[in-house]
Structure 1
Amino acid sequence: MTTDVLIEHRRKIANLEERIKNRRLQVIGLYGTPIAVVFTLLVWAALKISVWLHSDTPSAIDDTFGSVAFFLGVAAVAQAIAEFNRFWRDPKTPVRELRLELSLVEERHILDARRHTPPPMDRQASYKERLPGEMARLRRESRHYRRMHLAMQWMLFVGSAAISAVTAWYDPPQPAKGILIGLGFLVTVITAAAGYFKPRERAFNLQQTADSIEQHATALELGIAPYNDAEQSRNLELFATTVEGLRAEQRMREQQLDQPQQGQQQVI
Structure 2
Amino acid sequence: MDNSLPLLAIDQRIIELEAQISASRLAKRWGLAWITLGNILLIGAVVAGNMLIDFSKPGNGRSTLNTIGTILTVLSILISVTFWIVARSSEREETVQLLQSQAERRSLEVITEPQTAASQPFQEYYRSIPDLRDEYRKSAERYRGRHNLFQLTVIIGSILTSVSTTAAAEQGIWSWIAVGLSALVSISAGVIAYFKFRERSLNLQQTADSIDQEMQAYSLRIRRYRNLAPEEASSTFAEELERIREEQRKKELQLEQPPEAVPQQRPQPL
- TM-score using structure 2 length: 0.53
Q: Choose which of 166, 183, 195 in structure 2 pairs with 1:185.
A: 183
Shift of 1:257: 0.7
User: Larger radius of gyration, structure 1 or 2?
Assistant: 1
> What corresponds to 1:125 in structure 2?
123
> What corresponds to 2:232 in structure 1?
234
Once the two structures are superposed, the pairs formed by residues 241-252 of structure 1 within 5 Å of their partners are 241-252=239-250
- Residues 138, 206 of structure 1: 8 Å contact kept: yes
Once residues 253 and 247 of structure 2 are traced to their aligned partners in structure 1, the CA distance between those partners, rounded to angstroms, is: 10
Once the two structures are superposed, the pairs formed by residues 17-28 of structure 1 within 5 Å of their partners are none
Task: Give yes or no for the alignment of 1:144 onto 2:142.
Answer: yes
Identical amino acids, percent of aligned pairs: 32
Once residues 246 and 265 of structure 2 are traced to their aligned partners in structure 1, the CA distance between those partners, rounded to angstroms, is: 15
> What corresponds to 2:259 in structure 1?
261
- Residues 125, 236 of structure 1: 8 Å contact kept: no
After superposition, the C-alpha distances for 1:143-181 in whole angstroms (9 at most, x for unaligned) are: 111111111111001110011001112216721222122
> What corresponds to 2:157 in structure 1?
159
Once residues 120 and 134 of structure 1 are traced to their aligned partners in structure 2, the CA distance between those partners, rounded to angstroms, is: 23
Q: Secondary structure at 2:263's aligned position in 1?
A: helix
> What corresponds to 2:33 in structure 1?
none
Once residues 206 and 260 of structure 1 are traced to their aligned partners in structure 2, the CA distance between those partners, rounded to angstroms, is: 20
Once residues 122 and 143 of structure 2 are traced to their aligned partners in structure 1, the CA distance between those partners, rounded to angstroms, is: 31
Unaligned runs of 5+ in 2: 1-115
Change (3 A) 1:245 1:120: farther
- Residues 154, 185 of structure 2: 8 Å contact kept: yes
Once residues 160 and 196 of structure 1 are traced to their aligned partners in structure 2, the CA distance between those partners, rounded to angstroms, is: 20
Q: Secondary structure at 1:226's aligned position in 2?
A: helix
After superposition, the C-alpha distances for 1:214-249 in whole angstroms (9 at most, x for unaligned) are: 101000000112112441111011101101110110
Deviates more, 1:194-203 or 1:119-128: 119-128
Shift of 1:192: 0.6
User: Aligned letter for 2:146?
Assistant: M
> What corresponds to 2:39 in structure 1?
none
The two structures, once aligned, show a CA RMSD in angstroms of 2.1
User: Aligned letter for 1:160?
Assistant: S
Shift of 1:184: 1.2
Once residues 163 and 187 of structure 1 are traced to their aligned partners in structure 2, the CA distance between those partners, rounded to angstroms, is: 9
- Residues 164, 175 of structure 2: 8 Å contact kept: no
Unaligned runs of 5+ in 1: 1-117
Change (3 A) 1:252 1:120: farther
> What corresponds to 1:225 in structure 2?
223
Change (3 A) 1:242 1:203: same
- Residues 168, 175 of structure 2: 8 Å contact kept: no
After superposition, the C-alpha distances for 1:92-143 in whole angstroms (9 at most, x for unaligned) are: xxxxxxxxxxxxxxxxxxxxxxxxxx96532222211111101110110111
- Residues 149, 200 of structure 1: 8 Å contact kept: yes
User: Aligned letter for 2:189?
Assistant: T
